[in-house]
């Protein structure tokens, strides 16, 4: 099945789009996506291919995920997500373990953001979440991003404390992609409980990067937003 998936993706390849994506996802020397290879397949087309091959076995998915081509890796993750909808708890655990074993290949922000909530966060809804705190302290940028984006699954269920705890760990992170991710998560948390977000901001605003703060307060009214920006 692997050759068929690769061939189907190649049919959608667009060299001009590949150039644009390479710049957008910062693949140049010293940038966060250095060395990543794009063939120019947009996400809707990757979803079509993933859906067509949603019964692919884990060996095929792993082969795709280990590809140097970005769209192959994302399609692999999309196939996993399609399969999650119809599998039992044991299989979900298998996918969870597989994902954590392969974080080295989940190495750009779209790969993280489109997958970890469903594969990691949803699995942990009724389980111990210490793995997220380990990921939050990782030296790997993408593992740290996984730690906070996975908590979106908890936010949807009004389980908000882990988002705050992981955010606290990441407050002094040096990378802009973490600042944005944490701010985004805090903003979504604030939609559920604005007072809880305000309390967190008041406690931590002095050590919070400005990008993180701006994302976190996006949904506040103008007066409140300006007040926090002046703090």
Confidence of residue 82 (pLDDT cuts 50, 70, 90): very high
Tell me: the pLDDT tens digits for 62-71? 999 999 999 9
Share of the chain above pLDDT 70, in %: 100
Q: What pLDDT was estimated at residue 169?
A: 97
Average pLDDT across the chain, whole number: 96
Q: What pLDDT was estimated at residue 181?
A: 98
Residue ranges per domain, the chain? 128-231
**Helix, strand, or coil (residue 115):** coil
DSSP letter at 118 equals I
Structure token pair of residue 114: 């489109």
DSSP for the chain, please give it: -HHHHHHHHHHT--HHHHHHHHHHTT-STTSTTTT-B-----HHHHHHHHHHTTT--HHHHHHHHT-SBHHHHHHHHHHHHHHHTT--HHHHHHHHHHHHHTGGG--SHHHHHTTHIIIIITGGGGS--HHHHHHHT-SSHHHHHHHHHTTHHHHHTT--HHHHHHHHHHTT---HHHHHHHHHHHHHHHHH-HHHHHHHHHHHGGGS-HHHHHHHTTTS-HHHHHHHHT-
Round to whole Å and give the CA distance between 213 and 209. 6
Confidence of residue 230 (pLDDT cuts 50, 70, 90): confident
The label of the residue with tokens 């990378």 reads 175
Q: Length of the chain in residues, anyone?
A: 231
Q: Out of 3.90.1150.10, 2.40.390.10, 2.30.40.10, 1.25.10.90, select the CATH number for domain 128-231.
A: 1.25.10.90
pLDDT of 86 over the 90 cut: no
pTM as predicted: 0.94
Tell me: the pLDDT tens digits for 108-151? 999 999 999 999 999 999 999 999 999 999 999 999 999 999 99
Q: What pLDDT was estimated at residue 56?
A: 96
Cβ-Cβ contacts under 8 Å for 77 (sequence gap 6 or more):
65, 106, 111, 114, 115, 119
Structure token pair of residue 60: 């095929």
**Quick check: 200 and 186 in contact, CB under 8 A?**
yes
Tell me: the pLDDT tens digits for 166-210? 999 999 999 999 999 999 999 999 999 999 999 999 999 999 999
């Amino acid at each position: 099945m692997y050759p068929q998936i690769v061939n189907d993706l190649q049919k959608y390849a667009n060299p001009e789009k590949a150039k644009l994506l390479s710049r957008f996802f910062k693949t140049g020397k010293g940038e966060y996506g250095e060395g990543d290879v794009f063939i120019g397949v947009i996400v809707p087309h990757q979803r079509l291919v993933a859906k067509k091959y949603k019964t692919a076995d884990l060996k095929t998915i792993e082969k795709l995920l280990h590809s140097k081509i970005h769209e192959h890796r994302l399609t692999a993750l999309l196939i996993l997500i399609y399969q999650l909808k119809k599998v039992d708890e044991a299989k979900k655990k298998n996918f969870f373990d597989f994902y954590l074993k392969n974080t080295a290949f989940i190495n750009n922000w779209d790969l993280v953001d489109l997958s970890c909530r469903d594969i990691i966060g949803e699995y942990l809804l009724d389980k111990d979440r210490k793995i997220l705190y380990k990921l939050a302290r990782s030296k790997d940028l993408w593992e740290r991003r996984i730690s906070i984006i996975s908590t979106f699954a908890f936010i949807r269920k009004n389980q908000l404390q882990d988002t705050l705890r992981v955010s606290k760990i990441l407050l002094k992170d040096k990378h802009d992609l973490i600042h944005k991710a944490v701010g985004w998560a805090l903003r979504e948390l604030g939609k559920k409980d604005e007072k809880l977000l305000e309390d967190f901001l008041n406690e931590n605003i002095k050590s919070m990067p400005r990008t993180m703060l701006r994302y976190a307060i996006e949904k506040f009214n103008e007066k409140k937003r300006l007040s926090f920006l002046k703090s």
